[in-house]
Chain A
Amino acid sequence: MALRVVLGALGGLVGLVAVLGAWQVLAARDSQRSQILGGELTAARLASKTVASAVQSRLQLLDNLANQPGSTSLVTPAPTLDQIVVELLRLYPQFSSISLLDAAGNVLAAAPAWPSTQGVSGSRRASFAGVLRNRRSYVTGAFEAPTGGLAVTLGAPVRDSSGTIAGVVQASVPVASLSAAVGGSNLRGGGALVIVDQDGHAITGPAAKSMVSYSRASVVALALGGKSGTATAAVPGFKGGRLAAYAPVGSIGWAVVVENPVSVLDGPVAALTERLVGIGAAVLVFAIAAAIALWTLLRQLAQQRDEVDAIFSSVGEGVATLSADGRVLRTNPALDQLTGRSGATSWSEAFVLLDESGEPVSWERSVAAEAIRRGHVVASHGFALSLQDAEGRKVPVALTASALFVDSATPSGAVVVFRDVSREHEVDQLKSSLVSTVSHELRTPLTLIQGFCELLLTRTNLDPVQSHEALTQIHASSQRLGRLIDDLLSVSRMESGRLSAEVETIDMAQIVSEVVSSFAVDHDHHFSTELAPSMVLADRDKVVQVLTNLVSNAVKYSPTGSEVQVTVSVAGDDARVDVIDHGIGMSAEESASVFEKFSRSNRPEVRKVGGTGLGLYITKNLVELQGGQLWMQSEPGRGSTFTFTLPLAQPGSTPAVASLQTAGDQ
């Protein structure tokens, strides 16, 4: 969005520069053009004056020659006439030839000598006719001189004393000598100065190579008509056409044209345009560079914002940001899930936070407000707080609030992390329950040991039966304490990965038989066994411990006299042992947690039996340590079946004693 605004602004800037530049160019172009056109016209006029005076001076000379006293005698045939003409030509090098004609147009004398066979040339005839027609001196159009190059013929009448034209003096002048007079004209690059005769032939300049009509006929017509001015004409081969400034040449009937490419008009303007284009390009490049830099910056900012957003959204704990006055600015999905609400802006609407006594915690009492007041991190203690979700469920939470400083020394708000501490709360309760259980389990045997000892020490009158009973109780109680300590140590070892099994090939059927027999000695249950021969790879002591625990449970949780059945069978690569009782059984709920540490049913018939809730947890760990599995099936009132497997020893192999170790818990 911001990117578009910036790019638009830069585009606008570039556009403005372009419009201003174009306006400048057009204004400059108009003034430059009128200056150029004026200059061209002045050049044409100057050139025309130069040409006119060059021609006029020669014509004047010829006129003087024709009209000096006695010149009439020149047009009278005489043997010395040729000599005179040659002498004149030597005296006047401006002329390339001089000739004398009589009133009838016959050549009387000519220098250089004129071949008689050629008669009178075209230019001489034109000159002669022009003089007679105008009755004064006359300049012909250009012609190709026999000696090469272009020339014009000047003619002046020779009059007798009565003023009648008695003959004509003619002289040829090379056009080059005329154009040399204007050759110094300073023309712009690509320009040309063209002298056009009355016949419309270009007699100087690049167009005068051959006797062709000068192509700028319309311009020439105007100039030959006595007008001067400027015009542009489209000319093939010249891109954009030619600019012509034209002026007539005095009374001779010629014209001068100064020709230039039309582009001269744009010369200075083009330079200006180039400069402006340069500036424009620089501005454009700068704008593009700025836009790219800005775009990159905005992208980086967007990327950073996206990253922060993603982190905020992905954090597994609930996170909320709050303003200094307790408005809820933002909550992350984890928190919304915890509260079952989203979008609420006030503390009390967003969070139904209850303290230990069930009272809602107001914003003022919250750790967030305290964090803002104190300017640092404040955390809630223990399991004092619970968060009630939209459906009324309460979840114990721990809050950590940090004061938020944005460009200021005073907190602008707070970030609060809501941590669901259900699991910790559960563990905490489990710990309390464990302490309570263990202390009860410790206190009972301790009570008996202390009590019977006291009786033995203080009552001297105890009979032997009583003494024996007292000692038996003390003995049993100390054993009970010992087992409790063993269990606790086993769990500790399992969880730290220090429990190991010394695996060897052992006879499962034999071990089952031994353990069951030991129970049969002092229990009134009916024991039965079905023993399939099977050799397993296991730790003998641990297998005994597993069996003892399972059979002991079967006995404890089933009525005296009922049947406890233990079977050994082979299933695939495993030996399978089932311990079946017909006792109180377990509900599905109890079954689910039966292998968990410190799990104890609250049922009286289970409570009656006593225990730490560690036995099955330890048993399961022992079986798994040896590569087996332990599971159970049960039905309340019908009894339970605990089943475990252990890997069979491969027949024929006598494995060395191997050592297995627990991986460690958590």
Chain B
Amino acid sequence: MRKLLIVDDEDGVRSLVRMTLESDNYQILEATEGEQAIEMVKRHRPGLVLLDVMLPDTSGIEICRKLKSDPDTASTTIVMLTAKAQTADLEEAEAAGADGYFTKPFSPIALMQRVERIFGAAI
């Protein structure tokens, strides 16, 4: 079963991702804060992390950098989820080692296809 962690402080966004991907193929894990996300990555080893940039405690980009710089979690695929579409943010995300990004608002169908592509490639 494919494990996916969605990190977002907005209940609605987590609910949307869950409803989009929830099936027999995916196990959806949820986190609302950065530190909690790191902890869950280490414990559950998700294949993909959908990481919001504007998190309450720290920036999602900072969490991304931490995950990618830790050998234990560096192999985790990380896709940034952001409402900010400024190039500066995207460059920053790339520099932090993110594997891709998705801009809000997003299409759930497109998200699902993207996620399936990522897992398909990983397998």
Contacts and interface: CB of A to CB of B under 8 A. Distances in A.
Interface of A: 436, 439-440, 443-448, 450-452, 454-455, 458, 462, 466, 469-470, 473, 476-477, 604-605, 607-608, 610
B107 A454 contact: yes
B45 to A, nearest CB: 26
Contact of B83 (A447, A450, A455, A458): A447
Contact of B16 (A436, A451, A605, A607): A451
Contact of A458 (B32, B104, B109): B109
Interface stretch (B49-57, B68-76, B113-121): B49-57
A372 to B, nearest CB: 38
B9 A608 contact: yes
A455 B105 contact: no
Interface residues of B, number: 23
7 contacts: A445-B12, A446-B105, A447-B13, A451-B106, A469-B15, A604-B57, A610-B9
Given A440-B83, A443-B83, A455 B19 contact: yes
Nearest 3 pairs of A and B residues by beta carbon: A608-B56, A447-B105, A443-B83
A447 B104 CA distance: 6
- Which of A458, A466, A604, A610 neighbours the largest number of chain B CB atoms within 10 Å of its CB? A604
Contacts of A605: 56
Contacts of A451: 16, 20, 105-108
A45 to B, nearest CB: 128
A440 B105 CA distance: 10
A444 B12 contact: yes
Given A444-B104, A604-B57, A607-B54, A452 B16 contact: yes
B10 A444 contact: yes
Contacts of A604: 33, 55-58
Nearest to B105: A447
Given A450-B105, A450-B107, 19 more contacts: A436-B84, A439-B84, A443-B83, A443-B104, A446-B105, A447-B16, A451-B20, A451-B107, A452-B19, A455-B16, A455-B19, A455-B108, A462-B19, A477-B12, A604-B57, A608-B9, A608-B33, A608-B57, A610-B10
Nearest to B104: A447
Given A436-B84, A454-B107, A604-B58, A470 B19 contact: yes
A659 B57 CA distance: 45
Given A439-B83, A447-B83, A466 B19 contact: yes
Interface in B8-24: 9-10, 12-13, 15-16, 19-20
Contacts of B13: 444, 447-448
Contacts of B58: 604
Interface string B32-44: 1100000000000
A237 B78 CA distance: 135
Contacts of B16: 447-448, 451-452, 455, 473
Nearest to B32: A608
B56 A454 contact: no
The residue in B57, B83, B106 that gathers the most chain A C-beta atoms within 10 A of its C-beta is B83
B107 A476 contact: no
A608 B57 CA distance: 8
A470 B9 CA distance: 18
Q: Of A446, A455, A458, which is in contact with the most chain B CB atoms at under 10 Å from its CB?
A: A455
A454 B111 CA distance: 12
A462 B58 CA distance: 35
A440 B84 contact: yes
B20 A455 contact: yes
Interface string B82-123: 011000000000000000000011111100000000000000
A446 B104 CA distance: 8
A613 to B, nearest CB: 15
Contacts of B106: 447, 451
B100 to A, nearest CB: 17
A456 to B, nearest CB: 10
Contacts of B19: 452, 455, 462, 466, 469-470
A446 B105 CA distance: 6
Most buried by A among B13, B55, B105, B107: B105
